[in-house]
Amino acid sequence: MSWDLRSPLRYPGAKRNIAPLIEKLLIDYNYTDRVFVEPCCGGASVSLYLLEQEVVSKVVLIDKDPWVASFWKMLFFHTKHLLQDIQNVEVSVETWEAMKKKEPKTMREKALYCFFFNRTCYSGILKGGMIGGRAQASKYKIDCRFNKNELLARMELIASRFSSKIKEVRVGSVFNVLERAELEEQEDIIYYIDPPYVQKGEKLYPHYFHKKEHLRLKQTLEELSRPWVLSYNDHPDVLDMYCSNASLRHISLEVLHVADRARPSKEWLITNFPNLKAEQVLNELIQWSELEHLSADQQETCTHIETGAL
Ligand SMILES: C[S@@+](CC[C@H](N)C(=O)[O-])C[C@H]1O[C@@H](n2cnc3c(N)ncnc32)[C@H](O)[C@@H]1O
């Protein structure tokens, strides 16, 4: 399995490592060849992976963060301009500070800002500050995650392989998307939601959820009859919110996160897939996690899997 098409955005809580599991769920439940709608797309690692595996027919990417949505729009629909801007930007402390002082106005500027700060801030987090700090005294310098040639080549490949499969990219709220989902005329849609983390979200993303938004998401999903998969960081509030609904199923995984590589943490997958064959899926997933399916990169991820009703 090749990871050459992995997301060019570094994202706290990126789901690249569990994407093969979501692929497996889609295959097991005959939800392949569908329109995959990702309304908290961030680095879009699951969508990219499913496109690479040709498991979904089309993808819709939505994020509340206009920088993120602009990045994906420019990458897929105005590739040359984005690549040109990235090629031309000088990765230096001076550029970083000058850009920090200026608010990007156009979609093109927002896309460049998104990419530039994502690759020059600690863990891809804007609030994390510049890698190496102003003094650049650390062994990690501002450009240590900015291998221009490799990143440009990867983005060109992603755009050339997938642009035709991107149905839409836009700025939007997950709530608007899900609350209108029942009205969608198109039947073959599947929703994948990877919301900002409970509690830690504020530190990680410019757009995050307060408790009331986490609750609103839960209420919205409980009313949604279309198939959906939700991923969450392991937090007691997540179980509190979802455990009262016996019709939902969960899969729990241990994952190492980019923003916190030192400590593995648990990640929940929750779904409304009907007739979840828990026993069968459990066995298959255990085999899957033990087998060669996992590249070295992924092996750090799935050290433990369990499934069942919440
Ligand atoms: C956990 S990250 C997604 C990471 C992504 N799954 C990946 O693999 O890179 C959550 C994303 O939700 C976005 N977000 C926050 N509030 C939102 C809202 N109300 N509607 C849509 N997106 C939102 C954030 O901007 C962030 O990009």
**CATH for 94:** 1.10.1020
140, 166, 192 — which closes off a domain?
A: 166
Dihedral of the CA atoms 196, 197, 202, 204 (nearest 10)? -80
The finding on whether 214 has its CB within 6 A of some atom of ligand 1 is: no
Kindly calculate the radius of gyration of the chain based on its CA atoms and give it in whole angstroms: 19
Average pLDDT over residues 264-279: 69
| Paired residues of 255 in beta bridges | 265
* CA 286/CA 304 separation, integer angstroms: 8
Q: Dihedrals φ, ψ of 307, to 5°?
A: -130, 165
Q: In this prediction, what percent of the chain has a pLDDT beyond 90?
A: 57
The finding on whether 201 has its CB within 6 A of some atom of ligand 1 is: no
Domain co-membership, 88 together with 224 = no
Atom number, ligand 1, closest to the C-alpha of residue 16: 8
Domain co-membership, 161 together with 186 = no
Torsional class of 206: left (φ above 0), alpha (ψ -120 to 50), beta (otherwise)? alpha
pTM across the whole model: 0.88
DSSP letter at 196?
P
**Total tally of structural domains belonging to the chain:** 2
Residue 72, token pair as written in the block: 């994906």
Q: Is 301's pLDDT higher than 70? A: no
Instruction: Between 250 and 213, name the one with better pLDDT.
Output: 213
Domain co-membership, 153 together with 267 = no
Q: Which of 17, 60, 64 to mutate to test the pocket of ligand 1 (most atoms within 8 A of CB)?
A: 64
Domain co-membership, 74 together with 219 = no
Average pLDDT over residues 9-22: 81
166, 184, 216 — which closes off a domain?
A: 166
Domain CATH for 272: 3.40.50.150
pLDDT digits (tens, 9 = 90+) for 150-205: 999 999 999 999 999 999 999 999 999 999 999 888 889 999 999 998 877 677 77
Domain co-membership, 96 together with 231 = no
Domain co-membership, 48 together with 101 = no
Domain ranges, residue 237: 3-64+172-309
Domain co-membership, 55 together with 75 = no
Instruction: Between 28 and 176, name the one with better pLDDT.
Output: 176
